[in-house]
Structure 1
Amino acid sequence: MAAAGRVRSGDQFLCSICLEVFTDPVTIQCGHTFCKSCISEHWRVSAPYQCPMCKEVFNTKPQLKINTIISEMVAQFRHEAQHEPNISSSDQQAAKPGEVPCDVCSETKLKALKSCLVCLTSYCQTHLEPHLTRSALKRHQLIHPVENLEDRMCRKHDKPLELFCKTDHTCICHHCTYSDHKSHDITPLKDEYEEQKPELKKTKAEIQQVIQERRLKIQEIQQSVELSKNAADRETAEGVEVFTALMESVQRSLDQFKEKIQEKQRSTEKQAEDFIKELEQEICELKKRSTEVEQLLGSEDHLHFVQRFTCVKAAPSMKTWTKVSIRPPSYEGSVVRAVSELEDKLTEDMKKKKAKAELKRVQQYEVDVTLDPDTAFPYLILSDDGKQVHDGGVEKNLPDKPQRFTIYCNVFGKQSFSSGRFYFEVQVKGKTAWTLGVARESIDRKGKNTLSPQNGYWTIWLINGNEYKTWADSPVCLSVKSGLQKVGVFVDYEEGLVSFYDVDSSVLIYSFTGCCFSDKLLPFFSPCNNAGGPNSAPLIITPVNTE
């Protein structure tokens, strides 16, 4: 491939005016070199005297000096080109997809080595040979192989497009500078390339940024689809569970309905069987008596007849069947009653299912709540993990910090919330009094006040072992199933909602709605006084169990 290397080195011996290998190379004062005939003709038709390359203007016509170094190098280049060894077509590679093929090859198109801007043809090594050996073709301008050579030539002057007109934003040839683009802002394509390339790199970076944004958006959409799919799967599973339970309930009701009908029918059949059996027994006895009567009528023994007459004639004690009948049981309204009972049962089941689903929904907003010892009433004892609190019955010597409760057995959670949704659960098993909920961070912790929303409290409480209450505009008694063991507390800050749940039965105990929160909310706990022992069990913050 040394030959190819020497051919490529010829690009440095091209005149920038004729774009061919130098002939009689001369240098002007600015240091640029041209063919002597090219620069002379250029100055003959163009004024003032200006370098075609750097645009330097000379007041007088510059003196042309032969560039001996370039002359010797051009001579050496021509000599090497003439003695360039041929490369057989068998040693060359066929053009692959994306590579420029030789325009001369008739059968297998070999890979082009050069393209000629004069011939507007691309050549492989073999067909390039004339351009390297024949004097008439040596002056043609050869470039790296490209496709669509016609697009690189000026359609008006049939010369290579080597300049860029900034005024008209178009590529032009040297001859265009003397006609349509005279006095325009002209620059070599290479300079324009160097100027535009950084902008294109910036554009590339912007495109990559946009691509990255699109990829992130794709990930976001895919994640949304995945979340939607997971939600759909959960909803489908819950739906299957609910409808399966409904179908099982309907089937049980149908089986019970059929059993009741069949039970009535069996009872009727049993009564009929008993009546028929009794009647058959009486028929048997009557037949026996009829036989005796018939035998007595056939007797001619007067004594025997008279003696048996009274006994045979006397009718045995038998039931009067006139008023006896089998009345089919009444089934009227049984279907309606069964359906009504089923509706009531399904309604109750659906309420339970709905309650479980609602509790499950809010449980997904579980937060890890721990008790804040700096806020605890001095009598309270907190566990090391901050999850349990009870009244120890003895006041501890603690610093009276501004945040500490000093009147009631209260304590705050460490975590505060000023947006979003959150949920936590507290075990109240074994206690006879307690208070749970949330409160504003800014409540008065040193004075006495009512646990009302107006004072910044949204709570429910237990007193006297079985009285559950809350405070809305006034005290409200709550209907709670006895034996409440675990309470769930849910808050939707933006929605202004605070709800309390009986976790074990999935029943909503009470909800504060339409609340207007403008301050941080803190989980609020009060295990209340231990009452000498009966209320010594602790309040325990427990992890959520959705099973």
Structure 2
Amino acid sequence: MAESSVSLAQEEFSCSICLNLLKDPVTIPCGHSYCMSCIRGYWDQDEQKGVYSCPQCRQTFTPRPVLGKNTMLAEVVEKLKKTKLQAAPLAQCYAEPGDVECDVCTGRKYKAIKSCLVCLESYCQPHFERHEEFRSGKLHKVTDAVGELKEMICPQHDKLLEIFCRTDQCCICYMCMVDEHKNHNTVSAAAEKTEKQKLLEETQKKFQKRIQEREKELEELRETVDTYKRSAQTAVEDSERIFTELIRSIERSRSEVTRLIRDQEKTEVSRAEEQLKRLEQEIEDLRRRDIELEQLSHTDNHIHFLQSFQSLSVPPGSTDKITVSSRFSFDVVGKSVSDLREKLEHFCREEIKKISPPASSVRHNQSIPTPEYESRKEFLKSRGSLIMLECLLTIFLGFISVLLFCAFCGRRRKDGEPPLIKGWIPFLGKALEFRKNSQQFLTQLQQEHGDVFTVLIAGRYITFIMNPLQYPSVIKHGKQLDFHTFSDSAASRTFGYKPVRSSLFPGMSDRIQRSYTLLQGPALDPLTFSMMGNLQQVMRRRFLPSEESGSDGDWQEAELYEFCKCVMFQTTFNTLYGHKSNLRLDQLRVDFEKFDAIFPLLMARVPIALLGKTKEIREKLTRFFYPQRMAEWRAPCEFIQTRMALFQEYDTLQDRDKAGH
């Protein structure tokens, strides 16, 4: 009885907003009491409207009432607290995420259990009881708690959506039914729900059936995957075992072949060693018999000589010739092993060709059959074909990537340059074709691309000029080809002198280049005239008899080729460098011909130390052109005189460097 009175007192002095005992109770003009903080918070939400109402009776107040603490209620509440008659907290659960919250609760809200379609609010259990208490006798439609009550209200007429229009397939209010949806096929929402409920059940049955089918397919697919894994693992184990046995068999065969070779070697060596010992013994006996015969030849006893000679004249041992075959080899064994390897490789290639991957596809709308193999060998073949296909694709893609890189990132032909032939092999280019038959290769390229073309050979781009008449078309590209720099570096490297540097000898390089004009145009006329005179003198010495030598006019050279070389060398030398009394050019010509034969190797950067006495010959030729010796010659050409005068101005330049230039 006391507990019921305490419960009643708690309900009478509880705030209808927070549902707890009143705290700083205040009484508003309608007579209801609330916590001061609760009613202030509730009215603060309606501050913009300017109309304030009671949460329970909905009576409105304008202006906002002034709140004052109800002292009597405060004392009663304090007495309840002091006598410990405060009731236990309401057995309500707070709203969790996803739950419908009570629209009346302040602070932390309780979970709503009912929603009023007239008030458009959701209530927890205590607030719903208060709602029913104050709305007794009024027909308010109540449903289970639902969220977003505003979606159940017609936005145009602000009425409850209670009718379903089958024509437009939407929910409407009764105002819409007599306005926009007039003469449409309309039914109540409840009736339409009943019809849709039947369709929902049928649809749900279809979905459940589809779920069962998919679950069955999922189970079959899992079984298929497990079968694949088990079969693959079994095939891997079998293949490992088979290949291990095969390797062991090959190892045994290798050991057996090695043993047979060693046995045959031992037999032949033993036979040869026996013959060797017999030959050594026979040689020793023959030497001893030779000594005895030598001693017998010096004896004076005729009887002893005759008796001993008979026995000593017979050679010891066998007179048969011992033949030792030097052509014995194990080529037969090597050939047999090589044939075995080729047959094994051929067999593997043929077996791989027989392997074809199973044409199976997984479709989303039908069940997947489990692959069935008659034996593990078939699965191993199919698996091996897939691995081989993957390797081939990887190699092919890598090769294509390299080709694309060389095609787009390598050297490209520019406008005005000769045709560029790079080949399909990166870096090597056309090296293999050039090495096989260089003359045929160049002739074929000449027919395809003309007389001038550039070829990639072993990482270097080489330009070939197949027709001498095409030299001007190449030389005119001065920016790409600097023949002055090339000739200076090649000549200094070949003839062993230091190149002229502009920093040490300013202007000298330009003066040297200008001196070449003395070999061009009208300046060639004096050289031609001088050369014709020197040619007459040389020919006269060769053809006409000499009174001192008593020659009858026969040629001194036995061969015409040697004669022509001698004549042209002496004529050219005298034309360029002049004459000198008692100067014999025979030895100079011999040294020049030796150096000329080695000249291409020096230009190809072959070290001179590897070319025998070439360095000594070069030094000898260089000393012949020292400035002191050239000063003794008479009537050199203007080109040589200009060069000599130019080098005399540079005292710091060594004589061997001047001679090299």
**TM-score interval, smaller chain:** 0.3 to 0.5
Bigger relative CO (Cα 8 Å, ≥ 6 apart): 1
TM-score normalised over the length of structure 2 = 0.33
Work out which of the two has the higher radius of gyration on C-alpha atoms and give 1 or 2.
Answer: 2
Q: Which has the higher strand share?
A: 1
TM-score normalised over the length of structure 1 = 0.38
Q: Which has the higher helix share?
A: 2
